[in-house]
Structure 1
């Protein structure tokens, strides 16, 4: 494995950081000197974040329980903290790894800095900073269902994390959602919740759904022998509605308990929204930047 890599994208505004499975796009807005310092702090923090996680990986792959475990690294501690309230269902801290890394990197950028806005996008799971009166627009995946494909987040909403999960994504899913996008207070909280909501969008035992043990695709997967979705065949409109409603029930429960702010669920031409999610058309984007979620 190569060591941590950092380079500017062609637009000269966004910094790309890569180390093994971690692939980040970061951008800061505000005073040029403050932004320059924030980028430097991000690069410095990135040097050790993956080795820290690798050191604790065996335990991070073990299921969470209602009794928190002690982890050494700040990113691992954050992962554990967000999955413990969800541990009545099967979940490991790895369900929050992408969002937790984004949170950690954003914290490094902001330390001692004054930025108007900033984001860290970790493969679609993002942590955001918004100063007073600021807003940011995100492109979300898995729509194509007659809804707009942008969400605008104002600072006053208190949302600082956006994450998307589903069987078509880069991580395994136990469910059949094309995509579930969650807005929450942190990237880690959004990531963990999106995972469980996407798992709940499901039709157990349906013959059109193809599944294999996670271990068959990735021997070291934290999901072990649990069946993950690799293909979804034709479903009736009623079946799609049933699967989405199952996921919506979980999203609504999370929202009532203050775990998320909102969620949008998508499956084969249908969608559900829990909470208030300002979906705006591309030609009505209020901010100049679009961070993909």
Structure 2
């Protein structure tokens, strides 16, 4: 199947091609918005073939010197490079990098604000004095959009204003579309752009972990034979755990998140596991309000 384009009932654009599924909103001058949609669509039709052409390198660990050629592939590598002291491949930033690339068509004159949502990883454009409100869904196991009234209720919301150094939001966890080494239900990261947020969310979610025989893990390549994680054990099931163990896992993740925040790699992170949560710069122990 080739790329497809449609307009959702909300007026948002929907671009889809293989595993790439974008929902795009833009506000401003009508002609400028339409021109941005058309330019973004032209770019989008080439994205998947461009990535597939370099897929072996995209699945290889990030090391010294970027061997990639395409602009999205290079953005993926650059987002993951700060974490190359551990195992990471550019695929850790693919969703955010794609969103960021498409967003570039929505940053010109006449566009007040826009966002490109690639499966929950979001690239944002805000003109001066603009802002956008983002909802957080903490546990994908409870995500039942078809059973909910509109608007979909969220566990938390936050506002991103143009003055903040944040233009990307990404979420990772063991229940998500990609594999995780940890047990976080979700780790949501705010960073300078979507690719950076995507890579950091992956790293922090991997750190939300605790050794316990009740946690089910399998080699990634047995769950999906072409996984870039190879034989590394990924989480496939997490039973209810004692609060003390959940807190231990969250604290490990928070320590990683705070270190990234100190390094200037992220602006904020919210970590959730079994209805317990931590937040960078937040209280030592907090419980998610349902």
- TM-score computed with the length of structure 1 as normaliser: 0.89
- Deviations along 1:155-180, whole A, 9 cap, x unmatched? 11120000000001111100000000
Verify the 8 A CA contact 1:30 1:117 in the aligned structure 2.
yes
**Number of positions where the alignment pairs a residue of Structure 1 with one of Structure 2:** 269
- In structure 1, runs of 5+ residues without a counterpart are 277-293
Where do residues 60-79 of structure 1 align in structure 2 (5 Å cutoff)? 60-65=58-63, 67-79=64-76
1:148 positional shift = 4.6
CA distance in 2, matches of 1:157, 1:82: 20
Corresponding residue of 2:200? 193
Where do residues 42-81 of structure 1 align in structure 2 (5 Å cutoff)? 42-65=40-63, 67-81=64-78
Correspondent of 1:107 among 104, 125, 133: 104
What's the C-alpha RMSD, in Å, of the aligned pairs? 1.3
Q: Provide the secondary structure at the position in 2 that maps to 1:189.
A: helix
Verify the 8 A CA contact 1:117 1:130 in the aligned structure 2.
yes
Corresponding residue of 2:164? 157
Where do residues 15-94 of structure 1 align in structure 2 (5 Å cutoff)? 15-65=13-63, 67-94=64-91
Verify the 8 A CA contact 2:57 2:67 in the aligned structure 1.
no
Where do residues 226-241 of structure 1 align in structure 2 (5 Å cutoff)? 226-241=232-247
Verify the 8 A CA contact 1:160 1:185 in the aligned structure 2.
yes
Verify the 8 A CA contact 1:175 1:228 in the aligned structure 2.
yes
Correspondent of 1:274 among 280, 283, 288: 280
1:234 positional shift = 2.2
- In structure 2, runs of 5+ residues without a counterpart are 143-153, 283-290
Q: Provide the secondary structure at the position in 1 that maps to 2:23.
A: strand
CA distance in 2, matches of 1:57, 1:229: 24
Q: Provide the secondary structure at the position in 2 that maps to 1:233.
A: coil
Correspondent of 2:136 among 124, 130, 140: 140
Verify the 8 A CA contact 1:208 1:234 in the aligned structure 2.
no
Q: 1:61 to 1:55 in 2, by over 3 A?
A: same
Q: Provide the secondary structure at the position in 1 that maps to 2:210.
A: coil
- TM-score computed with the length of structure 2 as normaliser: 0.90
CA distance in 2, matches of 1:193, 1:89: 13
Corresponding residue of 1:177? 184
1:113 positional shift = 3.8
Verify the 8 A CA contact 1:161 1:187 in the aligned structure 2.
yes
CA distance in 1, matches of 2:192, 2:157: 19
Corresponding residue of 1:279? none
Moved segments of 4+, more than 2 Å: none
Corresponding residue of 1:122? 118
